[in-house]
Amino acid sequence: MTFWLRAFLAIPLALAASVANAEGIVKASFEASVDRYGHFALGRPHEYARLVAITASGQRRVFELPEHEVFEDLTPRIVRLAASEPVEILAIVSHRNQGSRLVLLRLNGGHIEVSAQSAPIGTPMRWLNPVAVADLDGDGQAEIAAVITPHIGGILKIYQKQGAALVEVAALGGFSNHALGSMELALSQAFEMGGKVRLLVPDTTRTELRVVGFENRRLVEQGRCTLPTAITGGIQAVSSTQVSVGLRSGPQTISPKDCLRQ
């Protein structure tokens, strides 16, 4: 299984595995699988009531969700939105009546609390899959990209943290980065091209890989590659110019630059 976390190791703002010389979150996991929601977009048992974070000094910190919510997710994502900001956790939370939303959690005074969150999808049994946490416009502050409802006409959305809210600032339709029931979350990827970070996200059939940029607060498709079979496995950078794409027919290495429109 390819973990979503691995996809962004090359993006400096996206991930922070540790906090040097300071108390902070260095590891996190979900616990207490539950059946109280019952959507199971990732298959069983991947709906959880509890998140556990481990700090730099080895302390265990617990965050419990109320009865009407679950973490509908595989593993918490350890992220840093800017070099000057603390490490946070990004997770998918699903509400019994409102469906899924993105939630950022942080360590504050020895306990875990919600730092910011997006608006929920608004309908139960509707899910979203993050694409990347990366500085897409080069301003030193990372955005959060996610595909909303990747199983039914997915929409790629960009969020920026504004106070206690993750605010949608751009959207573009026609994407899918997950197959219902699969534990593979890394069907999309952020990738640096020509000094700018681009998003590599499959179309709704997952037989074309779309290259999308975030410019002037708009998402713009800049090219696409037609693939011999559908994407079913993770996309992983293998060099500064190439990615490995997990296809139904087996892994294939491609150069995203070759997907750009001439």
| Residue of 192, 196, 175, 101 whose CA lies nearest to 144 | 101
| pLDDT at site 6 | 36
pLDDT confidence bin for 22, thresholds 50/70/90: low
pLDDT confidence bin for 5, thresholds 50/70/90: very low
How many domains, the chain? 1
pLDDT digits (tens, 9 = 90+) for 72-101: 999 999 999 999 999 999 999 999 999 999
pLDDT confidence bin for 48, thresholds 50/70/90: very high
Are the CB atoms for 159 and 171 separated by under 8 Å? no
Q: How far apart are CA 123 and CA 170, in angstroms?
A: 21
Are the CB atoms for 135 and 142 separated by under 8 Å? yes
Domain carrying residue 53: 4-259
Per the model's pLDDT, the better-predicted residue between 128 and 10 turns out to be 128
CATH number at residue 84: 2.130.10.130
Are the CB atoms for 65 and 29 separated by under 8 Å? no
pLDDT confidence bin for 13, thresholds 50/70/90: very low
pLDDT confidence bin for 11, thresholds 50/70/90: very low
| Average pLDDT of the segment spanning 164-174 | 98
| Average pLDDT of the segment spanning 58-69 | 97
| Average pLDDT of the segment spanning 117-121 | 98
pLDDT digits (tens, 9 = 90+) for 214-253: 999 999 999 999 999 999 999 999 999 999 999 999 999 9
User: Which token pair is 18?
Assistant: 């540790």
User: Strand 111-117 relative to strand 208-215: parallel, antiparallel, unpaired?
Assistant: unpaired
Q: In the predicted model, is pLDDT for residue 12 greater than 70?
A: no
What value does the mean pLDDT of the chain take?
Answer: 92
| pLDDT at site 23 | 79
